[in-house]
Amino acid sequence: IRTRREEVKAQIRQVEMNIAELQEVVREAFGELKKLEISEERRKERLKKEQEAREAKQLDEVAISQYARKQEE
């Protein structure tokens, strides 16, 4: 009985070590995922700002053209 109990305790310690190792793997994977999410969010924000800048430039060009036409009249 004593030997069986010691075997079970050893198995429990091994399982606990495996759990700790897997928790570390999950933490690292989660950290990488967050980095990727942040990078993707920044990329989307940059693309949005670039699109807004292009649209603003187009609107400015239209306004300048309209102003120039009115000045010619």
Quick one: pLDDT at residue 35?
A: 98
pLDDT tens figures, 8-64: 999 999 999 999 999 999 999 999 999 999 999 999 999 999 999 999 999 999 999
- Give the SS3 label for residue 1: coil
- Residue 72's pLDDT is 84
Bigger pLDDT: 1 vs 37: 37
Predicted pLDDT at 12: 98
CA distances to 17, 20, 37, 44 from 34, rounded to whole Å, are 26, 21, 5, 15
What is residue 28's predicted lDDT score, i.e. its pLDDT? Answer: 98
pTM: 0.63
Per-residue model confidence (pLDDT) at position 1: 72
